[in-house]
Amino acid sequence: MAGQLAVLCGQILVVGLAGTELSPSERKALASGERGGVVFFRRNIAAGPDGPRSVNALAREVLDASPTDAPPLVAIDQEGGRVVRIGPPALALPPMRRIGDLGDVDFAARLAEAQARELAALGITMSFAPVADIHTRQENPIIGDRAFAETPEGVVRFAGAWARGLARGGVLSCLKHFPGHGDTLVDSHLALPRVERSREDLDRIEIAPFRELAREPAVASMMTAHVVYPALDPGPATLSRAVCTDLLRGSLGFEGVLFSDDLEMKAIQLPVGEAAVLAVAAGCDALLVCSREDLAEEALGALVREAESSAAFRARCEEARARFIAMRRRVPPAPVDAPSLAAVFEASRPIAEELTARLATEGRAQS
């Protein structure tokens, strides 16, 4: 697929890759401008101590394949705890709840900065973090200890500090999952969750951290939740104009990039192409299609067809692309030479040792 509309729509797609090297078709899609970026998973990282070096090499491939005037987003989920893609010698972090329980926002920001310096050296430009969900339901199967705290105030303090630390280290942040995934009973990878709070309670609890951080300069982006909030809209937030535009842009005043969560997740319950069109129309600026190349092509085709038939939708795509590229140009990939990586990881050793000591002290205090 070629042409201006394919590039327009492709620039708002962020896709997963199949392996540790670009395939010919992945390279071609990047070179043509029909992809705006990539997200790395464990399948893209060599096992063992060569893992970080393989990330560095793949990021360099992605950068070299992409148009020079549209630097790619190179993203990863490297929260800590159970959501980690890159292993040793990268800085090992516990679940964010352990960081929040330490009670030191300055230390949290220093941890995020150290992690960001490692990621930036590898060629990564965005960490899909921090989680701004509130851990309000113990049975929640997907958030739990990924949340910094059980109160809006605690989440605001530590998520804000984490975003500022990432920014100081040269990596873009992404606050997730708007407007709040902490009170769900279902994993949105597997089914569609619901949060049955009143609008007043949503404003007071789930939405509160996002409202407080919407104008934080370090918060470059947010990510939607594939969750239904009946008090806001009868459909999933990712596909809701009431949530993505009226609430986030209108009421909260957020001006950064809005990502959809992965459109392949089962919570969406629609073909990926249809979901892509609805997400952009709702107000998403960048779409995640994290596993299958054929589904990324399906999304692209559906976006192009809608842009061909609707001037209003084409204008929405142009707005999304402009916002997304502007953010990417602020932090283009800058992978260091592979021999320099060891020194980057060595620089994190002091704070890693401090973290170990603080966690041990906290553990003794609680026992």
Active site residue ranges? 189, 261
Helix H, strand E, coil C: the string for 223-263 is EECCCECCCCCCCEHHHCHHHHHHHHHHHCCCCCEEECCCC
Beta-carbon count within 10 A of 239 CB: 27
- Cβ pair 125, 180 in contact under 8 A: no
CA distance 156 to 149: 9
Contact between 280 and 212 (Cβ < 8 Å): no
Answer whether 208's CB lies under 8 Å from 181's CB: no
Give the strand pairing for 73-76 and 257-259.
unpaired
Q: Which candidate, 270, 269, 272, 222, places its Cα nearest to that of 247?
A: 222
Helix axes 24-31, 293-309, angle to 10 degrees: 30
- Listed in sequence order, the residues at least 6 apart from 18 whose beta carbon sits closer than 8 Å to its beta carbon are 26, 43, 293
Instruction: Determine how many CB atoms are found less than 10 A away from the CB of residue 43.
Output: 12
